[in-house]
Amino acid sequence: MWLVYGISFLAAFFISNILTYLAIKIAPKVGFVDMPSGRKVHTEPIPYGGGLAIILSVSAVIGGVVALATAMSASPDEFGLGELMTAYAGGVSIIFKKLVFAGAGAAALMVMGILDDKRGLGAVPKLVIQIAVAALVVYAGMSVTVFLPWKAAGWAITVAWLIFVMNSFNLLDNMDGLSAGVAAIIAAVFFVVALETGQVFSAEILAVFLGAVLGFLVFNLPPARIFMGDTGSYFLGYVLGLTAVVFTFVPKEKETTSLMPLALPFILFAIPFYDTVSVVLIRLREGRHPFDADKRHFSHRLTDLGMNKSEAVAAIYLATLATAFPALYLYHLNFYSLLGAVVQALLVLMVIAILEHAGARKKRDA
């Protein structure tokens, strides 16, 4: 399986890298660029198209894997497959329907993102499309399981979760390399956990996703030569949020705990959540609409305290690693250790909040 993961990762990386480079050359010629404005940090037009490169790369590689697995499953003897690979190839056909529905949702988000990047869409149309995409996922049989007698509760939580994560990564896309880098860190940790728990299909999709994001990130690190736009940021949240939905939360040890489905997503997504919640609270406190664009995000607040853009992005990368790292051994922990991992992530967020508050006060008093 390592060979499959490695080839998938490299294929996605190089396809994404090439498509991103082409987008840098083509996007300005067709007017697909992000113009500077008062609420943005760049001072010259930057091409869009990085998100499209990521989506097309993931689609191409996953499509190729599915086609190859289908052919192998139909004629396993001709390919000389071992027992594990035969089971893997056969398993792809079982989840094919879910992959089709997930792909349809990604396509809808891609179209929405392109229109938003090109013309600008209002919050309501985007929310309607996000709800429809999340509902499509639920219809395909992908939803969280909650210990309640109503299936509708799990469906509602799934829809709300996907909408929240998609918008979190969209809001996080406010500085060069930030949203893609954080997504790559979360995907890498998720990939290791998937391997540890034997979830081969989730691991495969994460390997492809990680390769595609890193292929784009080469051109998006400060100073960025291209942006992913809403086309990409919603897709990042969609893939990672959906991965959390379909993930199997079964500890390796015999002891079972209901905390695992809450602990793993929280510590992995703690920093995107912190950015989303904090910026919305700031806007509400100032009497503004929670979705008004501004420069009050976590990254902007770090630069206001004296960091340059690269330092702010690096600090958020490290904070993401600090909260997500316990996920690497989460499945070996008992209930109280799991609770400790959640508390650790909360403490990291509290330290960040205190430092931010003290720095802002000092700046006001200066």
**Measured distance CA(341)–CA(164) in Å, rounded:** 22
Higher pLDDT, 329 or 62: 62
pLDDT value, residue 144:
84
Whether the pLDDT of residue 88 is over 80: the answer is no
**pLDDT at residue 133, as a whole number:** 97
What share of the chain in percent tops pLDDT 70? 87
Instruction: Determine the pLDDT at residue 356.
Output: 84
pLDDT for 79: 55
Residue 252 has pLDDT above 80, yes or no: no
> Residue 115: in which H helix or E strand, if any?
helix 96-118
Rounded Cα distance, 203 and 191, in Å: 5
* pLDDT tens sequence across 37-53: 656 555 678 999 999 99
Question: CB-based contacts of 134: which residues, under 8 Å, 6+ apart?
Answer: 105, 158, 159, 162, 163
Q: Give the chain's mean pLDDT.
A: 86
- Res 90 pLDDT > 70: no
Would the pLDDT of 302 be above 60? yes
Q: What are phi and psi of 256, to 5 degrees?
A: -110, 155
How many CB atoms are located within 10 Å of the residue 344 CB?
A: 16
Query: What is the pLDDT at residue 254?
Result: 47
The region of weakest confidence among 71-80, 156-165, 194-203 is 71-80
Report how far residue 25's alpha carbon sits from residue 38's, in angstroms, rounded to the nearest whole number.
26
Residues 34 and 48: beta-carbon distance below 8 Å: yes
Sequence ranges of the domains in the chain: 1-248, 254-366
| Burial (CB count within 10 angstroms: exposed 0-12, middle 13-18, buried 19+), residue 193 | buried
The pLDDT value given to residue 261? 73
- pLDDT digit string (tens) for 334-359? 777 888 888 999 999 999 988 888 87
Task: Return all residues near 320 (Cβ < 8 A) that are at least 6 apart.
Answer: 182, 185, 186, 270, 271
Q: Are 246 and 261 in contact (CB under 8 A)?
A: no
